[in-house]
Amino acid sequence: MKNEEKKHSPVRELAEKTLFEAFKVLQKAGGSLPGRDVMTEVERRIELSSWDKERYKKTGYIRWQSTLHFYTIDAIKAGLMQKKKRWWKILLILQ
């Protein structure tokens, strides 16, 4: 059996890309920023496909933004970040 890398779903790949970039944005800013500034900077820094930018028909939310918000829940539960009063904060700054 070959040692093949398991392929993730497109949404999971989008989540990895956007969450990783959000952490980089927060780290560069000293650890915290308003959430809207994080979102603006993530969008500016990474290449988003037309699929990433599509709006969900049911909710009207933009796919990449909705995905990033959803996956930050896991980061919060893992103790890697906090969200308070619209501010995002990372709890571990890498040197």
Amino acid at 78: A
Q: What is the pTM of this model?
A: 0.87
Instruction: For residue 76, report the phi and psi dihedrals to the nearest 5 degrees.
Output: -65, -45
pLDDT tens digits for range 5-50: 677 899 999 999 999 999 999 999 999 999 999 999 999 999 999 9
Amino acid at 33: L
Q: What is the C-alpha radius of gyration for the chain, rounded to an integer number of angstroms? A: 14
Positive/negative CA dihedral, 59, 79, 32, 40: negative
C-alpha span between 78 and 92 (Å, rounded): 11
**For residue 1, what pLDDT band results from cuts at 50, 70 and 90?**
very low
